[in-house]
Structure 1
Amino acid sequence: MVTVANPLSPSGNIHPEQQYLDLMRQIWETGSERIDRTGIGTRSICGAMLRFDLADGAMPLLTTKRVYWKTATRELLWFLTGSTNIRPLVLQGVKIWNEWPHANYVRETGDPIGLDDFVARIAEDETFANRWGDLGPVYGKQWVDWPTYRYRADGLYEKGEGINQIAAVIDSLRTSPGSRRHIIEGWNVAELDRMALPPCHKTYQFHVSGEEEGARLNCVLYQRSCDVALGLPFNLWSAALLTAMIAQQTEMQPGELVWMGGDVHLYRNHAHLIEEQLSRTPGGHPRLVIARRPETIFDYRIEDFTVHDYTPQAPISAPVAV
């Protein structure tokens, strides 16, 4: 595994974002050329690690291009509802999941409807959205309603009560902070073939360090597949935000986010994005403020989150590989 050293030098002169840029450069310059399922092709390395200190509201929010953190936050809040239909996102103007159900609709019906028209119909027609906007049992379903089945005396199985992994982890952090089982898992092998996209950020493990009065909540995220240019900026923000929210709910302080990737890659058609971003210098230290502590983690709203000291450089657009 490639480990990118913690960029915070004793003098504090090296920006935390530099480790992300170093990883991007390493993949682009030394990664193996591979043909992937999308047919676009990638440059890929096996295994990487990044570490970010989340103390005092610090967030791994990239500054060398604009990252739409409110979009990523809306997605995370959507995950926490357990919804698997894109309509709630569409109604908020969040576009990041639209390509998958659109491609499925065109493939199954033969209707060559454009993406924008498809999304407009999802927004306007709830019945159409119920039929064609569902992604299958993706992240949120596994997080808050992992399916269970009970064995019956007649040798058959019946559906049991779903497992809310988020609530269970918060409870275990409160009651047994030293446990090594604070895990949220998205990789449900039995349901992968029903998912529009199997989970990329698949396993979250939480770790409590420090004394009870000053306990810090750390998070390790393992990501099986990582699009470093487009996906990772969102993934880092979302994992850090989830850690901050759980820390608030358990009366701890955010500690460290440790991100680990398996197949860590850049798409070959993202050359313009990569070269432009690598030419830029990070600046500023974005800080998260959470305005209130709701009763449960499922009660946060988008207006609860504010970011200070975020003055990013211009966005860099690139196509999503579906």
Structure 2
Amino acid sequence: MPHPERQYLDLLDRVLAKGDERLDRTGVGTKSLFGELLRFDLSGGQVPILTTKRVYWKTSVKEMLWFLTGGTNIRPLLRENVRIWSDWPLARYRRETGEDISQQAFEDRILADDAFAAQWGELGPVYGKQWRRWKDASGAEHDQIATLVETLKTNPSSRRMLFHAWNVGEVEQMALPPCHMVYQFHVNSRGELNCLLFQRSADLFLGAPFNFTGAAALVHMVAQQANLTPGTLVWVGGDVHVYLNHQEQVRAQIAREPLPLPTLHLLRKPDTIDDYRIDDFEVSGYTPHPPIHGEVAV
């Protein structure tokens, strides 16, 4: 039986070998393929936290918990020592003020100054806002996550159990339009919760490993709330790419042998989907290869 991580490494290899070289929005350039699928079995407790390089899984889970709060400001993330969203508001601040501030100084001001955080830490109506407070044409707001959990409890055979973040009327207001944009759920006859995640744009080296981890954590939380067990995570990528400045790092990762995947266990069952904390997640058996660093393309 091939190691589950092998399909990801094979995808990296295909992109390097056959990807179409394109100039992208960031100006860095990518090698890209279109339309790829990976499947990860979560039913035995295994989670796709990659082993061929260290993935900081707590950062990914904290990000997912932040999405579930409906938050759109980076301040709560910085309080949790999560800095993966700082690049976009920092770039806007530098562009609009002309001040060549360091990332550390910018983040320190976000944490220390309420008014500065409100003005410059805001990302616009990104994931959390759409998941928890999608606004329709009449101005009414819809909590897609709460609806999902309730439907899983009351009508688990429904084919309408999904949520998404591509709100056409608000995309232009977002610091970054949603990449992992649609999550659809399915319950099989064994009471297993399956999830299909469609990601329109996937930075395979830096972004996708976090998306795999965050989605697996979400499946565990939603399954627990609906009295189900985790099943299969199906990841579908639209434009899947490797940035040109990540090619050497990707080659180094492909050369490594995958190690046993870790397992995830939830230490308690909170009353609602809103009540999970990072301390509720226990990951066991994670002994990956060392990290491989790369610059984020903004």
2:92 matches 1:116: no
- Tell me, in whole angstroms, the C-alpha distance in 1 between the residues paired with 2:10 and 2:137: 46
2:199 matches 1:223: yes
Note the C-alpha offset of 1:272: 2.3
**Count of residues paired in the alignment:** 298
Q: Which residue of 2 aligns with 1:53?
A: 41
2:273 matches 1:297: yes
Q: Which residue of 1 aligns with 2:146?
A: 167
| Of 78, 87, 92, the match for 1:104 | 92
- Tell me, in whole angstroms, the C-alpha distance in 1 between the residues paired with 2:115 and 2:288: 40
Q: Which residue of 2 aligns with 1:38?
A: 26
Secondary structure (helix, strand or coil) at the match of 2:44 reads helix
Secondary structure (helix, strand or coil) at the match of 1:180 reads coil
- Tell me, in whole angstroms, the C-alpha distance in 1 between the residues paired with 2:220 and 2:277: 14
2:154 matches 1:178: no
- Tell me, in whole angstroms, the C-alpha distance in 1 between the residues paired with 2:6 and 2:31: 20
2:295 matches 1:307: no
Q: Which structure has the higher relative contact order (CA within 8 Å, separation 6+)?
A: 2
What's the % identity of the aligned pairs?
Answer: 54
- Tell me, in whole angstroms, the C-alpha distance in 2 between the residues paired with 1:271 and 1:179: 43
- Tell me, in whole angstroms, the C-alpha distance in 2 between the residues paired with 1:99 and 1:147: 27
- Tell me, in whole angstroms, the C-alpha distance in 2 between the residues paired with 1:294 and 1:91: 22
Structure 1, unaligned runs of 5 or more: 1-8, 151-158
Q: Which residue of 2 aligns with 1:206?
A: 185
Note the C-alpha offset of 1:31: 0.2
- Tell me, in whole angstroms, the C-alpha distance in 2 between the residues paired with 1:263 and 1:285: 26
Secondary structure (helix, strand or coil) at the match of 2:129 reads helix
- Tell me, in whole angstroms, the C-alpha distance in 1 between the residues paired with 2:281 and 2:16: 34
Note the C-alpha offset of 1:285: 2.3
Secondary structure (helix, strand or coil) at the match of 1:292 reads coil
C-alpha deviations, 1:117-167, integer Å up to 9, x for none? 1111111112100110000000000000101342xxxxxxxx32x111000
TM-score, normalised relative to structure 1: 0.91
Q: Which residue of 1 aligns with 2:168?
A: 189
- Tell me, in whole angstroms, the C-alpha distance in 1 between the residues paired with 2:81 and 2:271: 27
- Tell me, in whole angstroms, the C-alpha distance in 2 between the residues paired with 1:65 and 1:205: 28
TM superposition outliers: structure 1 runs of 4+ over 3 Å: none
Q: What one-letter code is carried by the residue in structure 2 that aligns with 1:31?
A: G
